[in-house]
Structure 1
Amino acid sequence: MKRRSKSKSSVLLLLSVVIIISFAFIGFKGLEVAGWRVKSFDEGITKGLDLQGGVSVLMEIVDEDVSSDVLERTKQLLELRVNKIGVAETVVTVEGDKRIRIDIPGAFNSSEIVDGLTKTGNLEFKDSEGNVVLTGKDVKEATAILDDTSRPVVSLELNEDGQSKFADVTAKNIGKSIGIYMDGEAVSSPVVQNAITDGKAVINGMSSMDEAKKLAGVISSGALPVTVEAASVKNVGAQLGAEALPNALKAGAIGVGLIFVFMIIYYRVPGIFASIALTLYISLVLLLFAEMKVTLTLPGIAALLLTIGMAVDANILIFERIREELSRGISIKSAVKAGFENAMSSIVDSNSTTFIAALILYFIGSGSVKGFAVTLMIGIVLSLFTALIVTKTLINLAVEIGLLKSLGQFRVKRGENNA
């Protein structure tokens, strides 16, 4: 019975180590099997401005007495507006009571972005006498396309109410022009050739496809409930970001490598299992970043390295407690159990206070401070899991199969007494 239990523990330990190492390898390198690809962490994680360059725009609402609902609605419309013009991986956050920051990673023209964001988005169709016959509320969808002559235009599809209005207006204005105005400025004045009953219209006069996309994005997002202006525009060079990321990764790899070396040299066999658990911890954190669409910044990398240090600290507390118990002369199995139990309160207390501090930073901070706080909170939760569950399981399995059976493997000399 004991031999069967030992064999089962051996299989579980080997399987656990193989799964952890394989998971980490696939996460860092990626995998492609029969045309199906698993993205690496580097491909899946969104990188912030400081890692790949881009534009950071701080928009400020000009109107007075802005409610929280209006602020949130403005934020949503600005985010939709930026994404509609083909900008991906944007980070839009509220700062204070009247400001909204928009971070746009990548190399983009800041003046065009600001121009698109500051438009109020008030779309109007006016007949030849200047009467407003349709508004942006009657538009179902706006799309930038190329017409039959390969010129960029904005194709409009009206909703059911707008389709009925447009059919009536065009029937009454055959041979006359219907002006299309954006924020009071005429962008197109097509002449009605016949009644349009399918609810489709075209805005022409675009000089480029990018201009058409920008206008389509503004129309699709709808009119802003308030007037906004750019309080500040900051460009982060792509070269700075390109240099920052490799340097940050190199520093992180060296730091983690030194931690592994220290753990293995100082704590020997238990240090090896702690390093395996830390490998799983780092992989889980990066996986969670990718799945949660967390934007990784340099402060975020700093927070990640900080939580790695906290995870190592938890293992050190556990191993020192085990060594204390072994010095008292009890068995290795009992010492391991007592070591984890005695270290748990210290580990939970220290991590809880740090988590509370991160929570406060998240609620009162903004921008990169929030990113640092989110990274720190995720890291704390996962470090507790790997230290108190994964490391404990690996050590217990190693003790069960006899892989950890001598005091020397814990750096404890026979007869040593710390009292």
Structure 2
Amino acid sequence: MLKIPLFTRLVIIGLVLAGLIAALPNVFYDRVETHNDALRTIETAGATAEAEADASVWPSFLPANLVNLGLDLRGGAYLLAEVAVDQVYGDRMDAYWPEIRDALRSERDTVGAIRRVNAPEGQLRLQIENADGMATALQVVRNISRPVVSLTGAGSNDIEASASDNVITVQLSEAERVATDDRTMQQSLEIIRRRVDEAGTREPSIQRQGADRVVIQVPGVGSAQEVKDLIGTTAQLTFNPVVTRTTNPNEAPGPLNVLLPAADEEGVYYVIEQSPVVTGEQLTDSQPTFDQNGRPAVSFRFNPQGARRFGDYTQENIGSPFAIVLDDEVISAPVIQAHIAGGSGIITGNFSVPESSNLAVLLRAGALPAEISFLQERSIGPELGADSIQAGTIACIVGGIAVLAFMWASYGLFGFFANIALIINVGLIFGLLSLIGATLTLPGIAGIVLTIGMAVDANVLVFERIKEELKTARGPARAIELGYERAISAIVDANITTFIAAVILFTLGSGPVRGFAVTLGLGIVTSVFTAIWVTRLIVVTWFERRRPRTIEI
């Protein structure tokens, strides 16, 4: 008998209703987007009358997840950036110097005096007084090395030491360089993402490309320059001891010192020690504020380790100046008046209110581990995005009408049932896209159009099978039942192969290719569901009410 249990019917209807309700916000896209923006504003900046009014334009009891529009549909900025991963090697060697120096000092009787000498970028060179103690010095340095933390570098150490005369050269091992490059890229991706998110942009796409490049797509911004201004600054904040202040830009800073300009005083330079007391990496928070004179400033707070080091330094150097250095410029060089405990302070300078807010965002998001350069940039206007949406909509409508007309003309009433399921299928696709927070691009629209054409294939297989079963004169109920049962294997086989292709596209592709793969994969899932269960429920419900003695397909 042609029967569907009540529980199964309720599950099918529930899934369809849930998917259509999830897709509903996309019908009122502008209204729901205004509602979501208002909620985000209330959460970050507090409630205002305008924000509460905007939040009320969409009922709070309804879902508010939208299908995010990609760069080619909304307009925005596209950037291809390259990360200078080699820069990190020198920073690693600078960080090793105090540890190696202290370890060698414990063997002073054997190696004699130790001093650091100039070396190429990425290397650390140490000169020891007693060449006879070279073997001991090398062993001390090698004992400091640590295992490489990566799958490919298992069994290797992070640094290598070699000797020539009385000079020891220390550098990262090849395995550690590979692991460092990977960590640098991961950190850069996360910091770029945090900076872009801090600015309140909608659903940016930030992806690694190759060994040292990053693709950044930010929908809804006016130009690529806005994104560059936000993420192009490394925001490397350090607190360094001051050696002297000068007006001579050519003054020799001396070994292990650097000469940096003052940000707010033209013609003024500071000679500072190269090794910082604390860095921006130890910051836990930064906020725009005002100083005691009402001028814009930035407050900051260190983590426990940074607070302890900062407190110890200020306690031991009362009366001495120290420099607050941001991106190789001294933005402030105050004199330490007292012990600064608690790990918090304030950065003052010639800031405007927007500049202090932007600096706080950059510091709060963290310092980029290495400099980035932009290889490509382009801006896509919202008018072009609107044209893309219109073209995609027309393509969907034309393709949908053609398929609907073909099915109705070919299969009559059963074709009408298939058309209802096809409309539900498109709604379910948008519902799933909304639930997972997917981004819809122009290739994604192509995937939906392709799904519309493929969605009826399963129904065609079922209907043709039912026509074959009717020839055996077993009756319409038995023919419908056998038609669905015997067509399932062909439907599953045909869609699994396409789904595998979608998975491969998603795994190996990037950007637009992945957008196409997502809509195609979701479309296959919803197509199989609507063909096997939704259409069958419609047909069974109609058959139970009409009880026809014969059916024509």
TMscore range, shorter length: 0.7 to 0.9
- More displaced stretch, 376-385 vs 197-206: 197-206
Identity %: 35
2:474 aligned partner: 330
Which stretch has the larger CA shift, 245-254 or 380-389?
245-254
In structure 1, how many angstroms separate the alpha carbons of the residues matched to 2:499 and 2:197?
Answer: 33
Contact 1:136 1:223 in 2 (8 A): yes
1:362-373 to structure 2, matched below 5 A, reads 362-373=506-517
Assess, with a 3 A threshold, how the Cα gap between structure 1 residues 27 and 235 changes in structure 2: closer, same or farther.
closer
Q: Deviations over 1:116-154 (max 9, x none)?
A: 434344320123333422211321112234567765433
2:216 to 68, 93, 102: 102
More displaced 10-residue stretch of structure 1: 341-350 or 254-263: 254-263
Aligned ranges for residues 309-388 of structure 1 at < 5 Å?
Answer: 309-388=453-532
Q: Show structure 1 runs of 5+ residues with no match.
A: 411-419
Letter in 2 for 1:96: G
What residue is the counterpart of 1:89 in the other structure? 203
Preserved contact between residue 80 and residue 375 of structure 2 (Cα < 8 Å): yes
- Which has the higher mean CA deviation after the structures are superposed, 209-218 or 97-106? 209-218
CA distance in 1, matches of 2:20, 2:231: 46
Counterpart CA distance in 2 for 1:403 and 1:104 is 57
Q: Secondary structure at the match of 1:88?
A: coil
* Alpha-carbon spacing, 1:234–1:109, altered in 2? closer, same or farther (3 Å): closer
Q: Residues 121 and 103 of structure 1: is their aligned pair in 2 closer, same or farther, counting only changes over 3 Å?
A: same
In 2, distance between residues paired with 1:35 and 1:52?
25
| 1:136 is aligned to 2:280 | yes
Change (3 A) 1:13 1:331: farther
Report if aligned partners of 1:27, 1:287 keep a CA contact under 8 Å in 2.
Answer: no
The one-letter code sitting in structure 1 at the alignment partner of 2:451 is T
Task: State the distance in 2 between where 1:55 and 1:219 align.
Answer: 23
Q: Distance in 2 between matches of 1:321 and 1:207?
A: 76
Partner residue of 1:224 out of 350, 368, 384: 368
Match in the other structure for 1:212? 356
How many residue pairs get aligned? The number is 403
Q: Which amino acid aligns with 2:205?
A: V
TM-score in terms of structure 1 length: 0.83
**Alpha-carbon spacing, 1:147–1:185, altered in 2? closer, same or farther (3 Å):** same
Alignment-mate amino acid for residue 50 of structure 1: D
CA deviation vs aligned residue, 1:260-317 (integer Å, no higher than 9, x gap): 3433343232223222322322222112211211111010111112112211121122
Aligned counterpart for 1:290 among listed residues 434, 439, 442: 434
Q: What is the Cα deviation at residue 69 of structure 1?
A: 4.2
> Which residue pairs with 1:414 in the alignment?
none
What stretches of structure 2 of length at least 5 have no aligned partner?
A: 33-55, 87-176, 244-271
Letter in 2 for 1:47: L
Q: Matched residue of 1:407: which SS? A: coil
Q: Distance in 2 between matches of 1:398 and 1:17?
A: 20
- Given the superposition, is the C-alpha separation of residues 302 and 163 from structure 1 closer, same or farther in structure 2, using an over 3 Å criterion? same
| Equivalent residues of 2:297, 2:351 under 8 A apart | no
Matches within 5 A, 1:157-196: 157-171=301-315, 177-190=321-334, 192=336, 194-196=338-340
Q: SS of the counterpart of 1:233?
A: strand
TM-score normalized by structure 2? Answer: 0.64
8 Å CA contact retained: 1:27, 1:39? yes
Q: Distance in 2 between matches of 1:206 and 1:356?
A: 58
SS at match of 1:36: coil
| 1:36 pairs with one of 46, 50, 60 | 60
Matched residue, 1:47:
69
Higher gyration radius (CA): 2
Match of 1:248 in 2: 392
Counterpart Cα distance in 1 of 2:449 and 2:336: 65
Whether the aligned pair in 1 keeps the contact of 2:395 and 2:449 (CA below 8 Å) is no
